[in-house]
């Protein structure tokens, strides 16, 4: 389902569900330019979500952050990203 959503041009957002192995496996199949990370109402901190995503993707926090900034700029425009 995730592949189909991505192929339609949508982005996916991952948060607390990254605690589940199957969701981390899904994230690993998503192109790096097609996802966001979030916490919404979860008691889980954004730092923990970043830890889970970075570990899953085998990248460091800085690389992950830069990619997410690029993704935000692509969706919301460069003015939306404060570097």
- pLDDT on residue 19: 95
Task: Please choose, from the candidates 58, 56, 80, the residue with its C-alpha nearest in 3D space to the C-alpha of residue 68.
Answer: 80
Q: What is the pLDDT of residues 1-57, one digit of tens each?
A: 899 999 999 999 999 999 999 999 999 999 999 999 999 877 899 999 999 999 999
pTM: 0.87
Distances (CA, A) of 52 to 16, 37, 41, 45, 81: 9, 10, 18, 11, 23
For the chain, the straight-line distance linking the first and the last C-alpha, in angstroms and rounded, comes to 33
Q: How many CB atoms lie within 10 A of CB 1?
A: 7
Beta carbons of 37 and 15 less than 8 angstroms apart: yes
């Amino acid at each position: 389902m995730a592949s189909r959503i991505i192929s339609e041009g949508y982005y996916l957002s991952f948060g607390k569900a990254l605690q589940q192995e199957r969701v981390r496996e899904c994230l690993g199949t998503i192109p790096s330019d097609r996802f966001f990370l979030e916490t919404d109402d979860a008691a889980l901190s954004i730092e923990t979500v970043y830890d889970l995503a970075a570990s899953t993707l085998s990248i460091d926090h800085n690389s992950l952050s830069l990619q997410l900034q690029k993704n935000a700029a692509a969706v919301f425009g460069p003015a939306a990203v404060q570097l």
